[in-house]
Structure 1
Amino acid sequence: MTAPLPLTPPPGARAHTLRTGRGDFAVVDHPVAAGVEPRGAALLLPGFTGSKEDFHLLHEPLAARGYRTVAVDGRGQFESEGPPDDESAYLQSELARDVLAQAEALRALLGDGVPLHLLGHSLGGQIARAAVLRDHSPFRSLTLMASGPARISVSQQQRVKLLHDALAVMSMGRVWEAIRAMGPPEEVGGPARGLGGQDHLRRRWLGHKPAQLLATGRQLCTEPDRVGDLAAVPLPYHVLSGERDDTWPLPLLDDMAVRLDARRTVVAGAEHSPNVDRPLPTAEALADFWDTV
């Protein structure tokens, strides 16, 4: 049986390999729209079980506002390589170093003087935070999208445990079939809702390395509160979410924004993935923030 094709990048975007000092990473790269004055660029990090395709609906509206956007599959996510069994490769510190290497490679492509903004969705936000705490100098700002101050909610921890238990005894393919039999994948510890239909979601799931899922799932369940450390870093911050989020309840995100002296955006009609649920107002909120910094 022929594998389904990956979700096609949006018009004007290019899927390619970003070569860095820490390896190669699959990206979707969208330039600034023709005739629009360039205002900067943004590196976009996906969440747990997610991929670069989760940002497809943001590229065009952000390009129209003057921003080049580069969405990346992290190490062991979908189309980026990583060891299947070695969880040490996916320690948060290692993933943070990957982000800094990606930023360095982008800087070489962008040239001097182009502001580079960092955005992380969910797990990607906590990896972005770790990168900024290690070295904030490559970035002009940090946006935490549906990404909270510490570990995920108890209900989400239970879903991650279900996934871990299944991965301990089954192949990725069998886990996918089990998830599908139990209900919507995002409700039973499987891949988050995304674009491209079930064929694409299955292909993306099978592209993930089991060790990546195990290591990052454990991180989500044990992450300490590092907001105080982040607040000491001299960057502008933006905390953006939907109006409902089961992974980190909104009061936690509201409080985190206060502690960071961050801009706070709540996207009406969106849940844990405002980039998918309400991409146009999400893109407008992002560009409005980046314009101010």
Structure 2
Amino acid sequence: MPHHQFVLTLSCPDLPGIVSAVSTFLFDNGQNIIDAQQFDDSETGLFFMRVVFNAAQTRASLQGLREAFLPVAERFRMRWHLRDRSNRRRVMLLVSQSHHCLVDILYRWRTGELEMQPTAIISNHPRETYKDIEFGDIPFHYLPVNKETRRQQETAISGVIAHTKTDLVVLARYMQILSNEMSGRLEGRCINIHHSFLPGFKGARPYHQAHERGVKLIGATAHYVTSDLDEGPIIDQDVERISHRDTPADLARKGRDIERRVLSRAIRYHLEDRVILNGKKTVIFMD
């Protein structure tokens, strides 16, 4: 980024004067608006906004801007977040045996597409499972788990999250169900990816099940993790049409590709503050 930028996201009851108040605040504090998006949800009566800005004349500190914005936020009863875009979010990746999403995330991070700082890779499978993947300096933690050790394993994961000051946890095809307690602790900062057949074709070999039923569309869903299994607020989805010529192996191959791109988009939207929660849904400000 050529200039030092900040991003402000907010939601609040829809009242007259919100945009004017935010714009006036930025002008009075010597800031220049680079990009602004807003959405008025007529169903809930809530207003959502994302603003990217930088210093037009004088540089301002993040803390100073936060303190100055408080009266505006209180006036409109805002839920808001203000971030310095130069501070990359710290991201932990959880993975099981299938590592196509992990490889894709690492590639997009190394090429600069995902502006983040990986803090750790955690798996319930040993390092040898990923012998062909270059992790570099990213710490790897092998934390096996079964029904009897789930609580201890999640305690260990929580310890790594705290120690590394992780901001976002990504379940990159991590094939373990998080406990309600763990899901609650990570609410709003944990993203999961899975095929979009749910609630149909549950359990093992979903693409084989889909093939047996002759489905014509396959897809993937990325969502925030909640205590309601696979029912958290959706961030991104995609589909691809298939035909009678596609075998179960073809469906699985195409499914892996959809999963990669859907998860990477969801991560990027989160990292760029493009996602605002709206109850059980999300507001996504596209670029």
Pairwise TM-score range, normalised by the shorter structure:
0.3 to 0.5
**Which structure's residues are more often helix, by fraction?**
1
TM-score (norm 1): 0.37
